[in-house]
Amino acid sequence: MMDRTLKALSLMLSYPSQELQEAMPEIGGVIAADFRIAPDTRAVLCTLADGFSKADLYDLQEGYVMLFDRSRTLSLNLFEHVHGESRDRGGAMVSLIETYRAGGFEPATPELPDHLPVLLEFLSTRPFAEAQEILADAAHILDTLATRLARRESGYACVFQALSRLAGTRADAEALAGMLAQPDDDPTDLAALDAVWEETEVTFGPDPNAGCPQVRDMLAAMDKPTRKPLNRSA
C-alpha cells in the first residue's frame, strides 16, 4: 500500500510542471488528512500547495532552480552533503540503485538516485517503519535544509519540517551544528558557484576497495558531514 503523504511530499519537491500544478489541490488534500504531521505544519503545507497551483509556472520554475540547482548547500541530492563529487559517492550511488531494484523500484527519471524526491517516491512504496528508519538516518540533513530554507523565507521549509516529523526522531545535534556552520551559497553569485564545482568529476562506478552498504547504512553515515566543496558534475 502506498504512503500517499510521502508521495505527495516527493511531488512538492519535484521540478514544477503544469501537470504538477494541476495536481496540487489533490496533494494538499492528502497532506491535510495526515495526522502524523503537526497541525500547524499541515496548514502551511496546504497553503503552499494552494500557492503552487495558482502561481505563474515560469516563476515557480525559476525559483526552484535558484534554490535547489544553483545552491550546493540546498542540494536535493543527499549524498552531495556527505561525499560531494568524490569516488565514494559513486559506490554509494551503485548500492542505492541496487536497493531500489531489490525493492522492485526502477526510477523513470533523469535525476540521480540520491535525489530526495526519488528517494521519497521509493519510500512511499515501503512499509512505514522502514521508511521512517531511513528518514531518521537523514534527520540532520532534513533539519539543516529546513533551517536554511527558513532563513531564505522559502515556503519549501515546511516540506522538510514535515519530513522531520515523519522521521520521528531528533537530529544529532553535533552533526546538525556542523552542517549549519557551513556558509550558505549565494545563488546569484555565479562566479563563486562556478568555483565551488571546479575540483573533481564524480565517477558513478563502484570503488573496488569499498563495500556496498545498503541504503540505511549510507544514510546513517550522513552524521559525518561533509568535506571541502567539490566539483558538480554535468
For 114-145, the pLDDT digits (tens) are: 899 999 999 999 999 999 999 998 898 999 99
89 Cβ contact list (under 8 Å, min separation 6): 79, 80, 82, 83, 114, 202, 204
Q: Is residue 231 part of a domain?
A: no
Q: Is residue 145 part of a domain?
A: yes
The answer to whether residue 37 scores a pLDDT higher than 90 is yes
Q: Which domain holds residue 69?
A: 4-75+117-197
Calpha distance 146→134 (Å, rounded): 17
Q: CA dihedral in degrees (156, 162, 164, 165; nearest 10)?
A: 160
Percentage of residues of the chain with pLDDT beyond 90: 51
Q: Which residue has the higher pLDDT, 229 or 116?
A: 116
Q: State residue 115 phi and psi, 5-degree precision.
A: -65, 125
Q: Is residue 32 part of a domain?
A: yes
The answer to whether residue 190 scores a pLDDT higher than 60 is no
Q: Is residue 230 part of a domain?
A: no
Candidate ranges 87-91, 110-114, 124-128, 181-185; pick with highest mean pLDDT: 124-128
Q: Is residue 213 part of a domain?
A: no
Single pTM value for the model:
0.77
Q: Is residue 94 part of a domain?
A: no
Reduce the DSSP state of residue 88 to 3 states and report it. Answer: helix
* Reduced DSSP (H G I as helix, E B as strand, rest coil) percent helix, strand, coil of the chain, to 5: 60, 0, 40
User: In the structure grid, which three cell numbers stand for residue 70, read together?
Assistant: 544553483
Q: Is residue 205 part of a domain?
A: no
Residue that is written with C-alpha cell 530554507 in the block: 149
For the chain, first and last CA: distance in Å? 36
- pLDDT value of position 4: 97
User: In the structure grid, which three cell numbers stand for residue 14, read together?
Assistant: 519535484
| Contact call for residues 171 and 143 (beta carbons, < 8 A) | yes
Question: In total, how many domains does the chain have?
Answer: 1
Q: Is residue 91 part of a domain?
A: no
